[in-house]
Structures are given as C-alpha cells and as structure tokens.
Amino acid sequence: MSGIEDLIKTMVVAIVDDEASVNVAQAETDKEGILYEIKVGKDDVGKVIGKQGRIANAIRTVAKASGAKHGVRIMVNVFNKPME
C-alpha cells in the first residue's frame, strides 16, 4: 500500500512548515486493516490536526476512500515527533 502512504505524505507536506520532519509509517495493528502513523514536528502538529480536528479528519477520509478502492481498511493517527 505504498500508494496510500505517498498520498498521505503528499497531503501532510503541503500543510506543514518543516517538510523534513514529516514521517509517515505503516504500523502494526491487531485489528483488521492498516494503521498509518503521521509524525510531524512539535510546531506543526496543530496545523495537521486543525481546528476541532477537521484537517486530520479530512486526511483520514481521503485515506479511507483510497483504501476502500483497494478493499483495505485504513486508519490514520497523528503524533508529535520526538526531538532527536
């Protein structure tokens, strides 16, 4: 499902200021489906989540629609990327 991962990353990179800090990874889940974790810099978390979670929900909607086209359940979570 690299196409969905690329789709999510493209949407997030367009929103954030620090594009280098964006990381989209597929994570293990015990439920049916694929979980994608979006990790961004501390200053960009609010931009990705949006007011009342509207932007995050829009990203989830697009990802789920793409997954449905491929017959896969998609879940998306947004995280603050820890300082390295």
Cβ atoms < 10 Å from Cβ of 4: 22
pLDDT mean over 42-46: 91
pLDDT mean over 26-43: 88
Domain 2-80 fold: GMP Synthetase; Chain A, domain 3 (3.30.300)
pTM above 0.85, yes or no: yes
CA 39, 41, 42, 45: dihedral to nearest 10 degrees?
A: -60
Strand residues in 1-84 grouped as ranges (E): 23-27, 34-40, 74-80
Q: Supply the mean pLDDT for the chain.
A: 89
Q: Report pLDDT for 7.
A: 93
Q: Given pLDDT bands bounded at 50, 70 and 90, which one contains residue 38?
A: very high
65-77 per-position pLDDT tens digit: 999 998 889 999 9
Residues 73 and 68: their CA atoms lie apart, in Å, by 7
Residue spans per domain, the chain: 2-80
